[in-house]
Structure 1
Amino acid sequence: MSNSAPAIALTIAGSEATGGAGCQADLKTFQARGVFGMVALTCIVSFDPKNDWGHRFVPVDPEVIADQLEAEFSCYTPDAVKIGMLGTPVTIETVANALRQYEPKNLVLDPVLICKGQEPGAALDTDNALKAQILPLAKLVTPNHFESMALSGMNSIESVDDLVAAAKAIHEKSGAVVLAKGGVRLEGPDAVDVFYDGATLEVLSVPKVGEHAVSGAGCSLAAAITAELAKGASPLDACRSAKDFVTQGIEARVGSNAPFDALRQINS
């Protein structure tokens, strides 16, 4: 085993108590991909089994978020940073200010839009703040089916061609490399994601593992991309590797008493 210094990755994200998603999934993914992981906690989310497994949402104080980031960037220089759930406009402003100050070289945005624990008006304010303040800083963005519609301005995404159009539109608006995730949302036997960086278009496709979404798949995909970028991979190679990692994790998923299973991060 090599004793050389590992690549370092930071996730700025929320806690999801069951360990399937959020910063717990991110840190397990970083470990599985061989990088040293850190987390700046932005909020605490717990499923509510008494209310159709919706999200209960508690934000972390903005000063506490700023303090965490100050400590992390003072101790280390992250090779890549992932942005997960932020949750409020003031959190987004706090994180955006820190990102502009510290200027991480690889910034991956998993654009979590519409928190189920918030009122619609507050959620819209949060979405707009994310698009205005965080998206322009991102090197790579990983929107899911709904987020691809929101960021591209498209009314529907029903096919791979639609997903390609969405990826191109998001790239044009943001300048970021895009991995638009179709997952199990598109009809057909394959889970399809579209990579587009302004020059290279690649459709990443593997057979679906079941027909239902698995908790933590999106978080783990973005975290695996972050880990691979931290180790020096190109964006396309990072996305390919991350998709393989998530497919293995879905195959090894952990069953639960909730109406969804959780991805299991497999060491590789």
Structure 2
Amino acid sequence: MTSTQNNPAIALTIAGSEATGGAGAQADLKTFQQLGVFGIVALSCIVSFDPKQNWNHRFVPVEAQVISDQLEAITAAYQPDQLDTVKIGMLGTPLTIATVSEALASRDWKNVVLDPVLICKGQEPGAALDTDQALKREILPQASFVTPNHFESLSLSGMDEISSVGQLKEAAQRIYDASGATVLAKGGVRLVGSEAVDVFYDGSVLEVLSSPKVGDVAVSGAGCSLAAAVAAELAKGASALDAARAAKHFVTQAIRSRLGSHAPFDAVWQGAS
């Protein structure tokens, strides 16, 4: 029997495990696989919803040394000529952020896609604020592409309100000016109208990406999958704008084919594409 050595594009996600399978590292790996990319994960935390407490988050961080050990093994196994793309999801604590920041800075990455989870549900307000500030200070400056949702766009842009496409455009431009990272600011279901609108801005090209809304409620895993799809397309060599367009289409299909459960939220299904 003969064997064939394949050389697919490779992408790493540093993210949390979400026990129901709809979001986090699980969503990232499904997205990578569906888009033909070999996916690798370093777990940063474990999140499980509590069905006895209104499905609130139960958040457990992975020890910093364990995160460091994972990243050491990954970067030793896959040198920069193989692995140059990383997607950052939920990190969750300042110590985790410091650990990941150090690992990122120790290697040249072509693509660092940040899904800027600024507030980790399940944390005390003070801890959440510390995490928010640490992410902005230590991870955002290393990002090459950032995918903020409505709340995160408000926080990163410093704006008081984003209720129109015009304001979402302004937010994307402000975030780019502050970070230097290409921005895909997500309006999603939060903006009034029949279209789910996102705004792409890379310092020169400003483009509105829209598709008909599928319901009026956010679906679990949509944001994770969007950022992971951007990372997958970049790993395959796409331009930033083409990656954003492809990711928008991919996630729209995943939302249309959402999966229901006994949890009070639906999850995207990446296998629809």
Which category describes the TM-score, using the shorter chain as reference length? over 0.9
Task: Report the equivalent of 2:230.
Answer: 225
The one of 10, 13, 18 aligned to 1:8:
10
The one of 14, 20, 23 aligned to 1:21:
23
Task: Report the equivalent of 1:243.
Answer: 248
Task: Report the equivalent of 1:45.
Answer: 47
Letter in 2 for 1:242: A
Letter in 1 for 2:205: T
1:71 aligns with 2:73: yes
Alignment RMSD, CA only?
1.1
SS of 1:198's partner is coil
Task: Report the equivalent of 1:34.
Answer: 36
Distance 1:114 1:52 in 2: 19
CA deviation after TM superposition for structure 1 residue 52, in Å: 2.1
Give TM-score, length-normalised by structure 2. Answer: 0.96
Give TM-score, length-normalised by structure 1. Answer: 0.98
1:117-156 maps to which residues of 2 (within 5 A)? Answer: 117-156=122-161
Task: Report the equivalent of 2:162.
Answer: 157
CA deviation after TM superposition for structure 1 residue 266, in Å: 2.0
1:258 aligns with 2:263: yes
User: 1:134-179: CA deviations, max 9, x gaps?
Assistant: 0000000000000000000111110001100100000000000000
Letter in 2 for 1:204: L
Q: Is the 8 A contact 1:7 1:79 kept in 2?
A: no
Q: Is the 8 A contact 1:32 1:267 kept in 2?
A: no
User: 1:83-107: CA deviations, max 9, x gaps?
Assistant: 0000000000000000000222110
The one of 80, 84, 96 aligned to 1:91:
96
SS of 1:220's partner is helix
Distance 1:267 1:114 in 2: 30
Q: Is the 8 A contact 2:254 2:272 kept in 1?
A: no
Q: Please list every run of 5 or more consecutive structure 1 residues that lacks an aligned counterpart in the other structure.
A: none
CA deviation after TM superposition for structure 1 residue 4, in Å: 4.2
Distance 1:40 1:90 in 2: 15
Letter in 2 for 1:106: N
CA deviation after TM superposition for structure 1 residue 65, in Å: 0.2
Task: Report the equivalent of 1:105.
Answer: 110
Distance 1:213 1:161 in 2: 21
SS of 2:211's partner is strand
Letter in 1 for 2:212: P
Distance 1:204 1:266 in 2: 22
The percentage of counterpart residues that share the same residue type is 71
SS of 2:106's partner is helix
Q: After the TM superposition, which of the residue ranges 86-95 and 50-59 deviates more from structure 2?
A: 50-59
Distance 1:53 1:165 in 2: 35
Give every structure 1 segment of 4 or more consecutive aligned residues whose post-TM-superposition deviation is greater than 4 Å: none
Letter in 2 for 1:129: A
Q: After the TM superposition, which of the residue ranges 77-86 and 174-183 deviates more from structure 2?
A: 77-86
Distance 1:59 1:36, change over 3 A: same
Q: Is the 8 A contact 2:15 2:44 kept in 1?
A: yes
Q: Is the 8 A contact 1:44 1:57 kept in 2?
A: yes
Distance 1:115 1:134 in 2: 15
Distance 1:123 1:189 in 2: 33
SS of 1:262's partner is coil
Q: Please list every run of 5 or more consecutive structure 2 residues that lacks an aligned counterpart in the other structure.
A: none
CA deviation after TM superposition for structure 1 residue 116, in Å: 1.2
Q: Is the 8 A contact 1:79 1:229 kept in 2?
A: no
The one of 176, 179, 189 aligned to 2:194:
189
CA deviation after TM superposition for structure 1 residue 51, in Å: 2.0
Q: Is the 8 A contact 2:257 2:272 kept in 1?
A: no
